[in-house]
Amino acid sequence: MKRIFKIILFPLIIISCSSNDDTAIEYPSFGNEIDVTINGLSFDAMEPFISPSGSYLFFNNVNDGINTKLYYATKINDSTFNYVGELTGANQTTTPFLDAVADMDVNGNFYWTSTRNYPAELNNLFHGTFNAGTITNIGRVEGNFNMNTPGWLVMDHGISLDGQFLYYNNARFDEAVCQAPCETNIGIAQKVDATTFNTISNSSEILQNINDSNYIYYAPCISSDNLELYYTRFLKGTITANTVFDICVAVRTNSSSEFSVPKVLFSKSISTLVEAPSLTIDKKIMYYHEKTSSSHKIMMRKRSL
């Protein structure tokens, strides 16, 4: 299990993209990278999520699947936060463990990936209620989007602002065959009740321009207006020093139509890989993490279009 979740360092990460630009479609663009400072933080920060209010920045430490926890910081300005500490209630205490990939809707319903009692229980997406640094009312997210098959995990997820739609990323792991997930698939599930989401009937049609068996993709993030879907991808196959990681976006004109052919926004090789985009509610800032020579840190870009 430790090895399985160690893979999520490629996160947990994200769907295939095309670098071909359809000139009839208006895609967003973003400016240069800006370092994000988290005052008081002395370790790696990965998988950022900016809260709908903009007041909190959630993240986890290194995704090694051994001692991976959720943390949070409070906002000073767009690029500066004060580290507070662990997200109380979300983290396990007995190693090896992984609690990672924060996500939250506008009503404080909080979601994250956890290895709690895995593989005895295969549903590994959890929910709870966030309030002032504490998660309560914790439980598993149920629904037919869960594969309930050994080796298959909900690697990543993105919740819509209103909490009604879950963009889930199912991934199959087999360490004897694949360095990273062997295959991935993104789907859309709709909320049934506080604990359950079920895949919508036209999920495949809406995402038909995105799901591509040639790529491993993860870390989906749906914009507040449900019109832009961001994620990370890399080409399926052996991972080498030349493997490129892309942050991509697909767009649509209304919240029920299919997404466009995706566009690559920016790319980096594995030595400085970029992953896990998260947008502010006004869509003006994107946060993500980047690998450096000594750690992983959170970066940001401001929207230019």
pLDDT in tens, 253-262: 999 999 999 9
Averaged pLDDT, 183-201: 97
Q: Which residues of 112-142 are buried (b: 16+ CB within 10 A; e: fewer)?
A: bbbbbebeeebbbbbbbbbeeeebeeeebbb
* pLDDT given for residue 261 in this prediction: 96
* pLDDT digits 0-9 by tens, 126-157: 999 999 999 999 999 999 999 999 999 999 99
Residue 19 is predicted with a pLDDT of 41
CA pair distance 35, 289, nearest whole angstrom: 10
Count structural domains, the chain. 1
> What is the predicted pLDDT for the residue at 179?
84
- Expressed as residue numbers, the domain containing 80 is 2-302
Residue 108 predicted with pLDDT over 80: yes
Confidence band, pLDDT 50/70/90 cuts, at residue 5: very low
CATH of the domain at 57: 2.115.10.20
The arrangement of strands across the sheet holding 70-77 comes to: 37-39, 80-86, 70-77, 56-60, 46-50
Q: What percentage of the chain has pLDDT greater than the value 70?
A: 92
Phi, psi (5° rounding) for residue 124?
-110, 10
| Angle (nearest 5°) at CA 98 between 166 and 267 | 65
Q: Distance between CA atoms of 146 and 141, rounded to whole angstroms?
A: 9
At residue 65, the pLDDT reads 84
- 258, two tokens: 């299919």
Strand, helix or coil at 205? Answer: helix
Average pLDDT over residues 193-199: 96
Taking the model in full, what pTM does it have? 0.91
